[in-house]
Amino acid sequence: MPSKLLAATLAATTSALSSYSPPPPKLIKQCAWQQTHCATAPQFRNVVQWYEGDAHGSGNWGVTYRRYVDGFVKAVADDLGIEEGATVFESAVGEGWFLSGLYELLDVAFDVAGNDVSMKAIEECRMELPWGSFAVGDSLNLTWVDPQRFDAVICAYVEPGENENEAAVTETWVREMCRLAKPSARVFVGNVRPPRGVTDAAAGAYLKPPEDLVTEAWWEAKAGDWGVDDVRIVPLTDATLLEEWGPRYHVFMRKRAAERKWPSWQDDMVTGGF
Ligand SMILES: C[S@@+](CC[C@H](N)C(=O)[O-])C[C@H]1O[C@@H](n2cnc3c(N)ncnc32)[C@H](O)[C@@H]1O
Ligand SMILES: *[C@@H]1O[C@H](CO)[C@@H](O)[C@H](O)[C@H]1NC(C)=O
């Protein structure tokens, strides 16, 4: 009898073991340096206070989740080229509204990761999207995330502060995003606001040198430096969101295809031989 029981137990254990598949490795890991940096660097204090205070729980957008998804995410989701098994990274992921919207709208299984400067936002993402990997970190420095790992890298946009050089901030921000994209992957920046002086004549005091401004033409000019091309600008058209946020546009780009690389010994032969 006991041996029969043992055999049955063994069989059950073996079949349980053979059907066990380990969870897939997390796409990103929390970086201790970044966590300390985000909690202590003075430039984040106001941002974190605002997003963890007044703006918290409203997805940071001032509109309902439904409005946000129907008016914005729905208009862009299909053009992100997210296919079955894709890996997606969102820079400054906030409370994960954009990603939740994608899961709602797209009929494919994909894996996600994202960063935000706010611990509270990251905790929210981990709760809402427990299969994803989320970490506290500065979008201006994503060196702690694997480069060329993602099939789509997105950002639903953050505005540089009024006293910052918006072109300089945006350039670093998007360069960091593009580094994470695989060859031929999509890179998407949503809800970019045209320079205030351009759309709002009343903002006459808002005088900045033109080279500090992010205009629609600016994206095309910078794309080469980031290793992307195929730049496409699409305006936000949803009436309610336009009323709430003012004019905005979205930028679709594509990382260049991998270049054929000479093995280094061939380089040596070429340079050595001529
Ligand atoms: C308007 S919310 C957008 C949230 C999200 N993209 C969405 O669509 O639901 C902007 C987010 O950017 C974050 N943020 C601002 N500056 C950042 C930085 N330098 N690095 C990382 N996150 C930042 C804020 O904490 C906030 O959660
Ligand atoms: C960027 O972040 C890494 C750690 O994630 C850190 O070691 C490095 O010093 C940071 N770079 C800058 C310029 O702050």
Question: Which pTM does this prediction carry?
Answer: 0.86
- For ligand 1, atom 27, which residue shows the shortest CA distance? 94
Q: Is the pLDDT of residue 25 over 90?
A: no
DSSP string for residues in 160-225: PPTTS-HHHHHHHHHHHHHHHEEEEEEEEEEEEPPPHHHH-TT-TT----GGG---HHHHHHHHHH
pLDDT band, very low/low/confident/very high, at 205 (cuts 50, 70, 90): very low
Task: Kindly give the distance from the C-alpha atom of residue 113 to the centroid of ligand 2, in angstroms, as a whole number.
Answer: 19
Q: What is the pLDDT of residue 211?
A: 81
Mean pLDDT value across residues 74-80: 98
Q: Kindly report the backbone phi and psi dihedral angles of residue 101, in degrees, each rounded to the nearest multiple of 5, phi listed first.
A: -60, -45
Tell me if 175 sits within 8 A of 127, measured CB to CB.
no
Tell me if 249 sits within 8 A of 157, measured CB to CB.
no
Mean pLDDT value across residues 88-92: 98
Q: Is the pLDDT of residue 150 over 80?
A: yes
Q: Is the pLDDT of residue 62 over 90?
A: no
Mutate to test the pocket of ligand 2, among 40, 144, 176 (most ligand atoms within 8 A of CB): 144
Mean pLDDT value across residues 116-124: 95
Q: Is the pLDDT of residue 212 over 90?
A: no
CATH 3.40.50.150 fits 25-271, yes or no: yes
Q: Is the pLDDT of residue 12 over 90?
A: no
Q: What is the pLDDT of residue 243?
A: 94
Which of these, 238, 231, 237, lies nearest to 216 by C-alpha position? Answer: 231
The domain segmentation of the chain, as residue ranges, is: 25-271
C-alpha distances in Å from residue 112, one per residue of 31, 133, 152, 163, 205: 17, 6, 10, 33, 42
Q: What is the pLDDT of residue 19?
A: 74
Q: Which amino acid makes up residue 78?
A: D
DSSP string for residues in 53-113: TTTTTTTTTTS-HHHHIIIIIHHHGGGG---TT-EEEETT-TTSHHHHHHHHH--S--EEE
Q: Is the pLDDT of residue 250 over 90?
A: yes
Say how far apart CA 183 and CA 205 lie, in whole Å: 43
Task: Kindly give the distance from the C-alpha atom of residue 46 to the centroid of ligand 2, in angstroms, as a whole number.
Answer: 21
Mean pLDDT value across residues 40-62: 80
C-alpha distances in Å from residue 236, one per residue of 174, 245, 248, 252: 20, 10, 5, 13
192 DSSP β-pair partners: 249
Least confident of 2-16, 208-222, 228-242: 2-16
Q: Is the pLDDT of residue 274 over 50?
A: no
The ligand 1 site (C-beta within 6 Å) comprises 47, 51, 59-61, 92-95, 97-98, 115-118, 121, 138-140, 156, 158
